[in-house]
Amino acid sequence: MNSSSNTKTIVFWLSIVLLGIMLWKLVSAGGPSSDGQKSSDWVLLLINGIPLLLLVGFCVFLMRQMKSASWRVAKIGSSKTRTGIGYDLHRLEEGRPLIVGGIELPFDKGPVGHSDGDVLAHAMCDALLGAAGLGDIGTHFPDTDPMWKGANSLVFLEHAKKLLDEKHFAIEHVDAVVITEKPKLGPHFPKMREALAKALGVGAEKIHLKAKTNEGVDAIGRGEAIAAHVVATLVSR
């Protein structure tokens, strides 16, 4: 319980004590009296009664505020946050289209894969499925199934989103880094975020993209491969 809730609780019980004192005063003032005192007794009752009514209203207001605060805390406490990671890597070959984040980039090499080889979409799909405990992309879209030959990888993300909806998970944030020597990806990020967000049914502000090189090291550094790492955060609804 936060300090605001503690303050409300203290004020509430002080109000209850004050209410009891005022009720006792009213009862004490209601004893036998002569006819000459009746008018003054009514004035006394009126003077004490108005603050009493205000105090009762204040107590009711505090009770409603405390109940509302407790409900909000219970709601926050009942929500669950889940995190998943995804990774994918594809070899690059000349003469193939380079699809990253749902858009085609101008380049002389592209990924070798069963589908369109979108390394970012694949890693993102794995991260989302992993966070929800729903397996991985290979489970839902095996590369042995000819149905997915050359398929648009955004379809995989749309399917993952449906699975998340069925389990009452909402996408809170997706953070991704794509590793490649060439081409420069930064200028294409706005379109990538728009395409990915549309496939997932979320706002583009929930998707954050970064690009890194491999400093000439290994297959990625030699321009022979492209990879992506993704972390996805989900919340239960």
- Rounded Cα gap, residues 45 and 81, in angstroms: 57
- Residues 126, 145 within the same domain: yes
CATH of the domain at 211: 3.30.1330.50
Candidates 105, 92, 150, 101; CA nearest to 121 is: 101
- Residues 150, 69 within the same domain: no
At residue 42, the pLDDT reads 55
At residue 114, the pLDDT reads 87
Q: Where are the beta strands (DSSP E) in the chain?
A: 81-94, 98-100, 103-105, 109-111, 169-179, 207-212, 225-236
Structural domain that includes position 121: 81-236
At residue 179, the pLDDT reads 98
- Residues 23, 133 within the same domain: no
pTM of the model: 0.68
Q: Which of 19, 45, 78 is the last residue of a domain?
A: 78
User: What is the per-residue pLDDT across 72-90, written as a single tens digit (0 to 9) for each?
Assistant: 655 555 568 999 999 999 9
Q: Which of 60, 78, 96 is the last residue of a domain?
A: 78
**Domains in the chain, number:** 2
- Residues 86, 184 within the same domain: yes
Q: Are 137 and 126 in contact (CB under 8 A)?
A: yes
- What single letter denotes the amino acid at residue 223? G
- Residues 112, 168 within the same domain: yes
- Rounded Cα gap, residues 192 and 190, in angstroms: 5
Which ranges of the chain have pLDDT less than 70? 1-59, 62, 66, 69-79
At residue 105, the pLDDT reads 96
- Residues 205, 93 within the same domain: yes
At residue 141, the pLDDT reads 87
- Residues 135, 44 within the same domain: no
At residue 224, the pLDDT reads 96
| 213 Cβ neighbours under 8 A, 6+ residues apart | 179, 180, 181, 220, 221
